[in-house]
């Protein structure tokens, strides 16, 4: 058996869509699981859609995602060049060879004639008009410099068949397929033709791609057969959906890798999650490292059904990765989010990390969770009222005054010690502990939700700032009740 070789062949047209990244990931996992080689090839034949800097985005995305290619434009394994535009001279020669083998033919039809083939719905199917041209007439028109394309010659009868590794036996009537263009009038190959030539020349024997190519793959196989080349194995992947009706798309919001990184998702969590979109490991474990994904990946686990992208599930998985971080590891990835908050540089990020690690699912939540630490001069005192805890503004005010008196000379300003002090005060006042700690947290932070309890916030703020905020909140609440 020849060595497994897979490839990822993105077009440099912008950011990396999640669906493309999953295709890349599966091709990588399959190659590594089978001790094979994973090749990166840049397909830039569509110059109109080329986006400046997009190739750098491809490299950056694969690096951040932990997907390491064995060969590519920056790692020549003997099959280069790995950028299609640099291989332009190859394609015309192979197209001419295919013409000689009756697998293709020259077409000189102009736009007017092609438009005349359109039906009432504006759909045209080429009628093989130029296939009947004699060899002499073709040579005469080429010598005269007439514009031309080279089209694939697909049989009009019979059926083309192949076996897909996911979808099983696929059969397509030849009459359903059109004689597509292989070489365009500008001399550049179309995606379909360049793919076949490059995959063969680069010894790619496992082609992994989206299900949209399932029914057009017979076109590829007809070219392989006409050349006398061995067909590769095919693995087609069902789409990732936004919901039951819509594919995940940029128009619906976050659809690319960089979007999710900007929101504060960890690269390994994104990769872990998209691995599970269309593939199920045999065990029940969902949090899997790249090494574990390689070890467990198998074709049997790939689903034929579309997958629904569930960001809530990815948030949960991201939170699981965060929970396993040390404070130092957390600060390393979270620093940009601390720096964009209102308290940038004013607190020890390590201390904040200890509070946030168990309470953050996405790093983008950090500014909102820590901005309360910035000094405030107003907030809604209605928050002090809590029906379930049986707290009124009067109870909150009285308890805050008692807390201030109890803590004014107290020096053990740590979470545990302050918690014990608060519990003792609640017992002394014959009230529930929540009637002490909830008003205290509101008095110290001015917000209803914080990354930690009242005494954790007090320790973080320190005694001087805590007592200042306590005084401010008592005064604000008293004035509000007048």
Torsion angle (degrees, nearest 10) of CA 15, 19, 25, 28: -90
For 274, the token pair is 């998209």
CA-wise closest residue to 130 among 146, 121, 143, 144: 146
Helices (H), 287-430: 290-296, 311-323, 327-339, 349-356, 366-370, 393-407, 415-429
Sign, Cα dihedral of 330, 333, 338, 339 = positive
Q: Mind giving me the DSSP string for 177-213?
A: S---EEE-TTSPBPHHHHHHHHHHHTT--EEEEEGGG
Asked if 250 is an active-site residue, the reply is: yes
Query: What would the two tokens of residue 47 be?
Result: 């110059």
Backbone angles phi, psi at 173, to 5 degrees: -60, 135
Closest CA to 433 of 391, 373, 381: 391
E strand residue ranges, 81-211? 104-107, 149-152, 159-164, 168-173, 181-183, 206-210
Burial class (CB within 10 angstroms; exposed 0-12, middle 13-18, buried 19+) of 355: buried
Please, which residues have CB within 8 angstroms of residue 196's CB and are 6 or more apart in sequence? 220, 223, 224
Contacts of 155 (CB under 8 A, 6+ apart): 174, 222
* Tokens encoding 223: 């070219």
Class of residue 73 by CB neighbours under 10 A (exposed 0-12, middle 13-18, buried 19+): middle
Q: How many CB atoms lie within 10 A of CB 322?
A: 24
The burial of 292, by beta-carbon neighbours within 10 Å (0-12 exposed, 13-18 middle, 19 or more buried), is given as middle
Q: How many CB atoms lie within 10 A of CB 317?
A: 22
Instruction: Identify the active-site residue in 63, 250, 323, 342.
Output: 250
Pairing of strands 206-210, 233-237: parallel
* Residues 246, 255 contacting (CB under 8 angstroms): no
d(CA 478, CA 466): 18
Give 49's DSSP letter. G
By annotation, the residues acting in catalysis are 250
């Amino acid at each position: 058996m020849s060595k497994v070789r897979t490839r990822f062949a993105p077009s440099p047209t912008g950011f990396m869509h999640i669906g493309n990244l999953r295709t890349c990931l599966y091709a990588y996992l399959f190659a590594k699981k089978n001790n094979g080689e994973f090749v990166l090839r840049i397909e830039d034949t569509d110059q109109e859609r080329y986006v400046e800097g997009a190739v750098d985005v491809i490299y950056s995305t694969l690096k951040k995602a932990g997907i390491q290619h064995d060969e590519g434009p920056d790692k020549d394994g003997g099959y280069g060049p790995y950028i299609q535009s640099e291989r332009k001279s190859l394609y015309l020669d192979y197209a001419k060879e295919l013409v000689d083998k009756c697998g293709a033919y020259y077409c000189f039809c102009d736009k007017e004639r092609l438009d005349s083939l359109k039906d009432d719905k504006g759909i045209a199917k080429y009628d093989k008009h130029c296939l009947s041209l004699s060899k002499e007439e073709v040579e005469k028109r080429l010598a005269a410099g007439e514009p031309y394309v080279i089209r694939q010659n697909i049989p009009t009868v019979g059926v083309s068949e192949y076996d897909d590794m996911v979808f099983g036996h696929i059969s397509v009537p030849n009459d359903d397929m059109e004689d597509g263009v292989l070489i365009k009038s500008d001399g550049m190959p179309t995606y379909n033709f360049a793919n076949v030539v490059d995959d063969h020349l680069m010894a790619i024997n496992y082609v992994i791609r989206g299900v949209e190519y399932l029914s057009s793959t017979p076109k590829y196989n007809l070219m392989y057969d006409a050349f006398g080349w061995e067909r590769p194995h095919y693995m087609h992947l069902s789409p990732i959906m936004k919901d039951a009706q819509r594919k995940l798309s940029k128009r619906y919001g976050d659809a690319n890798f960089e979007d999710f990184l900007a929101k504060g998702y960890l690269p390994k969590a994104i990769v872990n999650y998209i691995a599970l979109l269309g593939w199920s490991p045999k065990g029940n474990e969902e949090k899997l490292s790249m090494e574990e994904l390689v070890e467990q990946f198998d074709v049997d686990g790939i689903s034929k059904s579309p997958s629904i992208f569930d960001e809530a599930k990815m948030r949960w998985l991201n939170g699981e990765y965060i929970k396993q971080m040390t404070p130092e590891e957390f600060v390393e990835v979270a620093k940009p989010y601390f720096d964009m908050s209102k308290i940038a540089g004013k607190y020890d990020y390590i201390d904040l990390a200890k509070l946030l690690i168990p309470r953050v699912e996405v790093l983008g939540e950090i500014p909102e969770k820590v901005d309360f630490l910035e000094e405030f001069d107003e907030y809604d005192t209605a928050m002090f009222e809590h029906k379930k805890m049986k707290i009124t503004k009067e109870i909150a005010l009285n308890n805050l005054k008692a807390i201030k008196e109890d803590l004014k000379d107290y020096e053990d300003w740590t979470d545990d010690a302050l918690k014990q002090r608060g519990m003792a005060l609640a017992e002394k006042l014959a009230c529930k502990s929540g009637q002490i700690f909830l008003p205290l947290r509101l008095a110290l932070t001015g917000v209803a939700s914080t990354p930690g309890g009242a005494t954790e916030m007090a320790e973080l703020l320190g005694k001087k700032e805590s007592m200042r905020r306590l005084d401010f909140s008592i005064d604000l609440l008293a004035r509000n009740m007048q």
